[in-house]
Structure 1
Amino acid sequence: MTEKTTVTGRLEPGLYVTATPIGNASDITLRALDVLSRADLVLCEDTRVTAKLFAIHNIQAKTAPYHDHNAEEMRPRVLQRLAAGEAIALVSDAGTPMVSDPGFKLVRDALDEGFNVTALPGASSLLAALVVAGLPTDRFFFGGFLPAKQEARRKDLTELSAIPATMVFLESANRLAAVLADMAATLGEREVAVARELTKKFEEVRKGPLADVAQHYAEAGAPKGEIVIVVGPPAPRAALCAHEVDAMIENALRRTSLKDAVAEVVSVTGLPKREVYQRALELSKED
């Protein structure tokens, strides 16, 4: 199926959110090639990267940069062009726009102004990694990039640890070993898959227990290429009796403040915070 066209053969006015390859230049749909070749303008995260793709597929479309540093300035201009009846495509350097790139506000504003917004699905690094990881796919959480600093990163991981789903993260190669070590320390015993260079010649997926994979990269050093980390869900928790919960609370209260003790027990047990807090108050008064 092709896009709707006017009587002149031009694309219908609107914003076309268009997926591009994550590595292999052949991983682009016929529909995407058609839209990119006929768009009045193609907004690119980096015009140099998009130019290489256009050269491979002999596309002559006009391009303009749209990224974090110029989005506030460019967005009103793009909306004006949409209002004038133009068809504008939005692409990222790789994969599906709107996933870890600045396209969100443009799509939101285009919708608010009543312009058509059309998705042209295609390559996605997070989905590609998920389907080759060999981990549960019925429920997953995309965490994007974790914080660069260890303290903030461990805090985020602790907050995410109770999510009953597979988690997917993007990461740079030079931080991979440190991130895996923090995951092993905060998430406990889980399976993990580290996917790199997806769809490219040297594609690799390394899978195993989190602690083992963390140790491998600590010893081997930073790998080459783009990295996606897929972490398996937590093991189902056995139901705890009231005496076991009380013992955990009392142990935590001996070591830390009431607030931190509650947070610790909630993180480990998955019990409602209000319930743990109320019981912690009662136990602290008894002492």
Structure 2
Amino acid sequence: MSTLFVVATPIGNLEDITFRAVRILKEVDIIASEDTRQTRILLTKYNIKFKQLISCRARNEVASAKNIVKLLGQGFSVAYVSDAGTPAVSDPGTRLVSMVRKEGFKIVPLPGASAVTTLISVAGMGGKGFLFEGFLSPKAMKRRRRLQKLLESGMIFVIYESPYRIIELCENLDKLCPNRNIFVGRELTKKFEEYIFGKAYEVLSMLSVMDRIRGEFTVLVGI
């Protein structure tokens, strides 16, 4: 039976991939990916050759999903990977999975790396549960309103942030919840992996001494 495999890939260190994921990527007929250039790096690392690569990113996900459904209908097996981490977790993949399921094809998840669980595991701030928000809106007022709602929930929460807005995020947190501890992870699992813990103003102080703020950030806000 034709199958769509939803495959988690490393968030930084290419060694953070499961044996099963490598096997499936070698066995499937087609690999669909958010960024084929990024995926080729991973395939080269594990000597996975002669695969048909097709693009399935946010901007073309619906059209690409229709094509993948046709390929499944023709009897091909397809693996889907996003740039890094688990597809459909603040990454493309949701619409693809939904369309494939509606057409009655089998969908198999291959679990693995995810920035949110990586950060939670070393934060020492978790409880029985947490809220995961992903990326906030780039619009300043909308971001601030959503932050306020998350803070009012009474739970710890995790958000993703770009290097271009991490300062603004910490400034907002300093104004809205100056007494809460936050735990920030940067470049998770990569060469320059770094963690910062403290109140928002303390994190701001540490970020301000960086010559240039780089990398993707994962931020846990405590209670």
TM-score band, normalised by shorter chain: over 0.9
Match of 1:29 in 2: 18
- Residue in structure 1 matching 2:3, options 14, 17, 40: 14
- Residue in structure 1 matching 2:187, options 197, 203, 213: 197
Match of 2:130 in 1: 140
In the TM superposition, what are the counterparts of 1:201-212 in structure 2 within 5 Å?
Answer: 201-212=191-202
**Greater Rg over alpha carbons, structure:** 1
- Two-structure CA RMSD over aligned residues (Å): 1.5
Offset of residue 221 of structure 1: 6.2
Offset of residue 114 of structure 1: 1.2
Match of 2:95 in 1: 105
> CA separation in 2, counterparts of 1:232 and 1:46?
34
Instruction: Name the SS of the counterpart of 1:69 in structure 2.
Output: helix
> CA separation in 2, counterparts of 1:218 and 1:153?
22
The alignment of Structure 1 onto Structure 2 pairs a total of residues equal to 222
> CA separation in 1, counterparts of 2:199 and 2:67?
50
Describe the shift of the 1:123–1:13 C-alpha distance in structure 2 as closer, same or farther (beyond 3 A): same
Instruction: Name the SS of the counterpart of 1:181 in structure 2.
Output: helix
Tell me if the contact between 1:172 and 1:226 (Cα under 8 Å) persists in the aligned partners.
yes
Runs of 4+ aligned structure 1 residues displaced above 6 Å come to: none
Structure 1 residue runs of 5 or longer lacking an equivalent are: 1-11, 234-287
Q: TM-score, structure 1 length as denominator?
A: 0.74
> CA separation in 1, counterparts of 2:215 and 2:184?
12
Match of 1:74 in 2: 64
Instruction: Name the SS of the counterpart of 2:152 in structure 1.
Output: coil
Match of 1:88 in 2: 78
Q: TM-score, structure 2 length as denominator?
A: 0.94
Match of 1:258 in 2: none
Instruction: Name the SS of the counterpart of 1:64 in structure 2.
Output: strand
Q: Deviations over 1:119-147 (max 9, x none)?
A: 00001111101111221242111111112
Tell me if the contact between 2:66 and 2:99 (Cα under 8 Å) persists in the aligned partners.
no
Offset of residue 152 of structure 1: 1.6
- Residue in structure 2 matching 1:47, options 16, 36, 42: 36
Corresponding letter in the other structure for 2:156: T
Q: Deviations over 1:29-83 (max 9, x none)?
A: 0100010011111111000000011111000122111011222221211111112
Corresponding letter in the other structure for 1:173: P
Tell me if the contact between 2:178 and 2:199 (Cα under 8 Å) persists in the aligned partners.
no
Corresponding letter in the other structure for 1:16: F
> CA separation in 2, counterparts of 1:43 and 1:213?
38
Match of 1:185 in 2: 175
Q: Deviations over 1:194-245 (max 9, x none)?
A: 1011111221111012232134324546522221111112xxxxxxxxxxxx
- Residue in structure 2 matching 1:162, options 152, 159, 162: 152
- Taking only the aligned residue pairs, the percentage that are identical comes to 37
Q: Deviations over 1:18-38 (max 9, x none)?
A: 000011111000100010011
**Greater mean deviation of Cα atoms: 212-221 or 47-56:** 212-221
> CA separation in 1, counterparts of 2:210 and 2:142?
25
**Greater mean deviation of Cα atoms: 87-96 or 76-85:** 76-85
In the TM superposition, what are the counterparts of 1:258-277 in structure 2 within 5 Å?
Answer: none
- Residue in structure 1 matching 2:217, options 200, 214, 227: 227
Instruction: Name the SS of the counterpart of 1:114 in structure 2.
Output: coil
Q: Deviations over 1:231-282 (max 9, x none)?
A: 112xxxxxxxxxxxxxxxxxxxxxxxxxxxxxxxxxxxxxxxxxxxxxxxxx
> CA separation in 1, counterparts of 2:36 and 2:189?
22
